[in-house]
Structure formats: structure tokens, C-alpha cells
Amino acid sequence: MSNLSAIEMAGLAGEYWGKNDGKGFGNLFSEDAIIDHPFFTKGVSPNTVIDVLNCTVCGTTVYDGCKLINGTGDGIDDLIEMKFIDSGENSGYTPQYAGRMVIEATIKNHKFTKFEVPGYELIQYNPTSERELKEVDIGDIDTKELVKLVGQAWANNNMGLFLSLFSEKGIIYHPLFKTPITPIIAADVLNSAMNGVSIPHKPKILKGDGSGVNDTVDMYFDETGDELGYLPDNMGIMHITAKIENHKFVEFLVHGYTPTKSIFKNNTSESLKEVQEKEYAAISGNTNKQESQHLYK
């Protein structure tokens, strides 16, 4: 893989990411490379990005061009802007919108040394697509139940349930987008191309009584996936602050991931989905909570 040009490196980065080829993707970087990504509060290594993010990618990543900012493009000393269109149909329908990921990459001696990831540009990908998402009557549930259901809905790609948890004015402030997005945009762009598990910690009530009438809550979810072909050593803890009114989410503020050692490595005899089902059963009180690895104890 020596002596690749800048455009060849850009194409391979998208190819390896879309195919969940963590080894190939990682080999494009120098040993001390840093990725500045909106999901993380500070720069992280390519291996961390592979473990925490690429492990759930299950869609298409289409190379959408490369612009030379500095250098000659020979891969010796270049600065480029790459674009990739990410989409998928794991949510059970064809999304109308997709995300165009923009990455500014520094290249030294045919290796990426730094990625600066501003985030997604929103594009209409299939504007005539009809989403057939069945609304779910969730009733007047409390905040704890809302947190449980939103984790289940996201992990199971059940966007009918996910959308049912939000009010009509529901809005999401997300680090991958410059402006607020609606829940359906989150479903189209983010959930459609992922396959993994998302298990909540016990929610932290910041305001209100937890009844779901007028609450603000900090939510934390342990998230991982095995789309790399193996269970990664690291997982991400997703942090979201949510506002709830009349038993519906009205606002999400998505803070991003904290990388940490995976708790799922201890469950080698069960699939990730089996582990997830057991955890949610423990949360719901349908099984012994001692069987849960880390929740609601």
C-alpha cells in the first residue's frame, strides 16, 4: 500500500470504512495519527474510531470526491477535503435523506496523520421515497420508561417506535449537524446505516419528578456492534440530555461518546442481541436483575 496518491488514499478510506475493514482503514494512518470528530470531546486514535463507530456501520459509504487544498496530490505532503455519502436501509424503509460526510485530511509520506471531521451535509437522496412507519401509542409513561424505549427503538432500528416517543415539535441538537434536526432526519441519516446494541444506564433526573410530565434527564447508553467481524475491545457511552413534556421527548442534546473498555467482551457465549434482550428484561423486571451486567442495580 506504499506510495499511494492523495486521491487513492481518499477512495480507500471510504471503501474500507463501508466494508468494516478496520485493519485496512487503520493501515492508512501513521502511528501517531489523530482524528478530531464531533462525537468525541478531544482527538482520538483511528483504532478508537474503528472500535466505537465503525463497529455498528451497516450500510453504504459512497466516495463523493476529493478536493486538493494544499500540496501536489502525490501523497507526500498534502491537505485534502474528502466527501462520502452514507446511507442504508436497516430501519426497514428507503430513507429520503442521506448524510454527506465531510473530512479534511492531512497526509504525510502516504499516511493520514490527521482527520478533521466537521460532520454531515444533509442531502435529499431518495426524495420520492414513501416511509411506512407505524406509530405506536405509548400512553402516559414515565421518564424511566421513555429512556428504556428510546434505547430499544434505536438499537432495534424500530423507527416507528422511535418517532412515537417525540412530540410533534421534537428537535435534536446533534454534533454531526450544524443546525438542529428532526427525529425523522436522525432516523433517515443515522439509524438507517447502523446495526448494534444500545443499553441504557439508570437515568439521572436533572429537573422534575421523573413522571414524564415535565422532566429534564441525562441519559447514558452503552453502545457497540460486531459489524467488524469481531467484538471490539472498546465501546462508547453515549450521553444525551433530554427534555420531556407530557410523556414525550421535546428536545435531545446529543453530547457524544466517551470511549471505554467494552463490558460486552465478557459475554462471548451469547450474541450481542441476546445480551441486549437480557439487559432490557432486567430493566423491565421480567428477569432477575442479578443477571444484568451493569444496569439499575
pLDDT, one tens digit per residue, over 173-183 is 999 999 999 99
Which cell is 278 given?
437480557
**pLDDT > 90 fraction of the chain, expressed in percent and rounded:** 82
How far apart are alpha carbons 278 and 282 in whole angstroms? 6
276 Cβ neighbours under 8 A, 6+ residues apart: 155, 197, 198, 199
User: At what angle are helices 272-284 and 143-155 packed, to 10 degrees?
Assistant: 170
Q: Residue 1 has what pLDDT? A: 58
Tell if the pTM clears 0.75, that is, is over it: yes
Q: Residue 296 has what pLDDT? A: 40
Taking only the tens place, the pLDDT of each residue in 234-273 is: 999 999 999 999 999 999 999 999 999 999 877 666 788 8
How far apart are alpha carbons 250 and 244 in whole angstroms? 6
Q: What is the CATH number of domain 6-124?
A: 3.10.450.50
148 Cβ neighbours under 8 A, 6+ residues apart: 200, 280, 283, 284
**What residues pair up with 29 in beta bridges, in sequence order?**
112
For residue 241, the one-letter residue type is T
Two domains, one topology: 6-124 and 143-291: yes
Q: Which CATH number fits domain 143-291: 3.60.70.12, 3.10.450.50, 3.40.50.620, 3.30.750.24?
A: 3.10.450.50
Residue with the larger pLDDT of the pair 271 and 223: 223
Residue ranges per structural domain of the chain: 6-124, 143-291
Helices and strands, number each (H, E), in the chain: 7, 11
Is the predicted pLDDT of residue 199 greater than 70, yes or no? Answer: yes
> Distance between terminal CA atoms of the chain?
50
